[in-house]
């Protein structure tokens, strides 16, 4: 609005507009009121339209020009139609030119004050806008400088903070959580878009986890040692990039290992005992991030992850030596097998009865974790209340076989009687439908020692489907 006023004021359009407006009024006067010069006898006089419009639109200059032109038309029209004698016959005719000039000048002065004020405010607005734009540009420069400083400082103070956060992610006794934390660290701190981890199993590297890949596209499930950049990294036990492999291949110093472009950077995870746990593979990363500093940071993260894996696997070895499951307060399956060997040898040597029982409930692993634990806690308490202290209730080998029971010095009929008690109590609690889709009686397998047909503990396990 202000810009339009200033443009109009400075373009001197009032001259053209005034001439056109007066010309239109002259034509109308001649056509519709030929006997009334300068709209004589019409109140209010239409000539006021030009003066009021120009004064209100353009201020002082517009009002003066319009008043002068209308006055000139007024005199010219009267002289042309009535002659100069008309001014002597009716001297009051002169009041119109006087009023035209006086009113036009007054209105023009008033409007000029407003125009000047608008001009001042417009200039102030432009100054403020320019100042704001200048400050916005300076802010952008400051932000860019701050970003650069942040990157620089990240190599010192911030790096310590970031590495501390990464270390926190890797604090776990479970290998899958450590690997997930490593891949997430690549993504969150190094802008890696796609990455994965391959674990070494003999001469193969098996895919264990990945981040960034769409569901409809999967990474290769395995690599052989020496095949692809991942296989080469595992074979040579050092960090490699696609750039190194391509340059060496062009020079003829690198043999064709197949699928060498499947990764951009690969980093081996080597533990304290020089054991290779696997290879971290970076498949997609912004080109600007592919620097020596980034690769070095990846190696640091991989080293921290390898150290965490070393601790996790050590803890797992210690945990495997435990004979009891802490969640259900029952024995582990490996202890069940060792006790089975002992009891079988005793039964074979002294012809003592021995029975096994396997609970085959395929619906258990479909339950929510909390529901499954609650149900198994109840069933464990139910079974424990009916067996002796030297009988062995243990966790089963698979999710659909959650429990196994070793009944020392117990014959087959006695074991079947115990099975009936279990079934009766399970039905009382209403667990039957939640445990198995088949008959609850068929879901509990019983096998007993027969020296004529059973020659080993493994054959007893086959009796109950293990």
Give the tens place of pLDDT for each residue, 391-414.
Answer: 889 988 888 888 999 998 899 899
Instruction: Identify which has the larger pLDDT, 80 or 21.
Output: 21
Residue 211 lies in a domain: yes
pLDDT in tens, 220-255: 888 888 888 888 888 888 888 877 666 655 444 455
Residues 296 and 333 in one domain: no
Give the Cα separation of 99 and 51 in Å (integer): 10
Domain count, the chain: 3
Q: pLDDT value at position 253?
A: 47
Has residue 8 got a pLDDT over 60? no
Classify residue 159: in a domain, yes or no. no
- Domain span at residue 458 reads 324-463
Identify which has the larger pLDDT, 152 or 385. Answer: 385
333 in the same domain as 313: no
Determine the pLDDT at residue 223: 87
Residues 413 and 338 in one domain: yes
* 55 and 90 belong to one structural domain: yes
Of 128, 156, 185, the domain-final residue = 128
User: Do 388 and 259 reside in the same domain of the chain?
Assistant: no
> In the predicted model, what is the mean pLDDT of residues 311-329?
73
Q: Which residue is it, tokens 């005719």?
A: 93
CATH number at residue 406: 3.30.70.270
- What number is the average pLDDT over the span 267-283? 87
In the sheet where 354-359 sits, what is the strand order? 324-325, 330-331, 392-398, 401-408, 354-359, 444-448
For residue 250, the model assigns a pLDDT of 47
Q: Mind listing the pLDDT tens digit for each residue in 427-444?
A: 888 888 888 888 888 889
User: Are 389 and 348 in a shared domain?
Assistant: yes
Mean pLDDT of 58-82: 71
The answer to whether residues 313 and 360 belong to one domain is: no
Residue 220 burial by Cβ neighbours in a 10 Å radius (0-12, 13-18, 19+): middle
Residue 319 has pLDDT above 70, yes or no: no
Q: Identify which has the larger pLDDT, 29 or 450.
A: 450
pLDDT at 353: 92
pLDDT band at 149 (very low <50, low <70, confident <90, very high): low
pTM for this entry: 0.46
Q: Is residue 50 part of a domain?
A: yes
Mean model confidence pLDDT for the chain: 78
Percent over 90 (pLDDT), the chain: 6
Helix locations, 224-291, DSSP H: 228-236, 242-251
Residue 308 within a domain: yes
Task: Say how many CA atoms lie within 13 Å of 345 toward its Cβ.
Answer: 5
User: Which of these three, 72, 102, 128, is where a domain ends?
Assistant: 128
pLDDT computed for residue 264 by the predictor = 87
Same-domain status, 103 and 211: no
pLDDT at 87 over 80: no
**Tokens at residue 256, please?**
């064709």
In a domain, 353, yes or no: yes
Task: Tell me the average pLDDT across 327-355.
Answer: 88
> Cα dihedral sign for 73, 76, 79, 85?
positive
Same domain, 29 and 70: yes
Q: Which two three-digit tokens encode residue 163?
A: 């590495």
Token pair, residue 354, equals 């021995």
- Average confidence (pLDDT) over 343-363: 89
**Which pLDDT score, from 0 to 100, does residue 367 have?**
77
Assigned domain for 142 exists: no
Residue entry with tokens 């709209």: 39
Average pLDDT over residues 99-106: 71
The answer on 381 and 246 residing in a single domain is no
Does residue 7 form part of some domain? yes
Q: What is the mean pLDDT of residues 7-27?
A: 68
Residue 45 and residue 176 share a domain: no
- Least Cα distance to 383 among 358, 366, 365, 364 occurs for 358
- Answer yes or no: do 314 and 418 share one domain: no
Position 404 scores a pLDDT of 92
Within a domain: 137:
no
Instruction: Specify the range with the lowest mean pLDDT, choosing from 126-130, 248-252, 328-332, 384-388.
Output: 248-252
Beta-bridge mates of residue 403: 359, 395
pLDDT reading at 291 higher than 60: yes
Q: Which of 128, 155, 184 is the last residue of a domain?
A: 128
Q: What's the chain's Rg over C-alpha atoms?
A: 49
* CATH number reported for the structural domain that contains residue 260 in this entry: 3.30.450.40
Burial (Cβ within 10 Å: 0-12, 13-18, ≥19) of residue 33: middle
In eight-state DSSP terms, residue 360 is -
Q: Provide the pLDDT for residue 405.
A: 92
């Amino acid at each position: 609005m202000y810009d339009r006023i200033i443009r109009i004021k400075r373009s001197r359009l009032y001259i053209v507009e005034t001439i056109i407006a007066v010309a239109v009024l002259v034509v109308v006067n001649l056509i519709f009121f030929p006997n009334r010069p300068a709209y004589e006898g019409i109140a209010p006089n239409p000539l006021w339209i030009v003066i009021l419009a120009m004064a209100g639109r353009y201020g002082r200059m517009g009002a003066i020009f319009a008043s002068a032109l209308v006055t000139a038309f007024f005199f010219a029209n009267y002289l042309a139609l009535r002659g100069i004698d008309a001014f002597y016959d009716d001297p009051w005719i002169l009041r119109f030119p006087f009023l035209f000039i006086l009113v036009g000048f007054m209105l023009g002065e008033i409007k000029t004050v407003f125009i000047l004020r608008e001009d001042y405010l417009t200039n102030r607005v432009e100054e403020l806008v320019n100042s704001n734009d200048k400050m916005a540009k300076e802010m952008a420069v400051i932000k860019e400088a701050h970003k650069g400083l942040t990157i620089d400082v990240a190599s010192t103070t911030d790096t310590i903070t970031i590495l501390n956060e990464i270390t926190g992610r890797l604090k776990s006794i479970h290998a899958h959580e450590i690997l997930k934390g490593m891949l997430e660290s690549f993504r969150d701190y190094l802008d890696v878009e796609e990455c994965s981890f391959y674990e070494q199993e003999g001469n193969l590297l098996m895919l264990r986890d990945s981040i960034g890949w769409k569901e409809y596209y999967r990474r290769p499930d395995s690599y052989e040692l020496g095949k692809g950049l991942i296989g080469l990294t595992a074979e040579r036990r050092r960090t490699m990039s696609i750039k190194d492999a391509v340059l060496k291949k062009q020079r003829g110093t690198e043999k064709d290992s197949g699928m060498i472009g499947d990764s951009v950077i690969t980093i081996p995870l080597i533990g304290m005992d020089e054991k290779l746990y696997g290879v971290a593979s970076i498949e997609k990363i912004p080109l600007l991030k592919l620097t020596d500093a980034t690769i070095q940071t990846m190696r640091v993260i991989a080293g921290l992850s390898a150290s965490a894996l070393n601790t996790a696997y050590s803890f797992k070895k210690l945990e495997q030596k435990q004979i009891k499951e802490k969640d259900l307060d029952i024995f582990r399956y490996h202890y069940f097998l060792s006790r089975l060997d002992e009891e079988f040898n005793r039964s074979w040597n002294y012809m003592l009865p021995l029975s096994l029982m396997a609970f085959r409930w395929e619906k258990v692993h479909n339950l929510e974790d909390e529901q499954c634990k609650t149900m198994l806690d109840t069933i464990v308490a139910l079974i424990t209340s009916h067996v002796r202290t030297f009988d062995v209730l243990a966790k089963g080998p698979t999710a659909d076989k959650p429990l196994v029971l070793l009944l020392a010095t117990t014959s087959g009929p006695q074991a079947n009687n115990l099975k009936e008690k279990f079934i009766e109590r399970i039905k009382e609690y209403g667990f039957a439908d939640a445990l198995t889709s088949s008959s609850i009686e068929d879901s509990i397998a019983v096998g007993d020692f027969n020296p004529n047909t059973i020659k080993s503990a493994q054959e007893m396990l086959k009796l109950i489907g293990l």
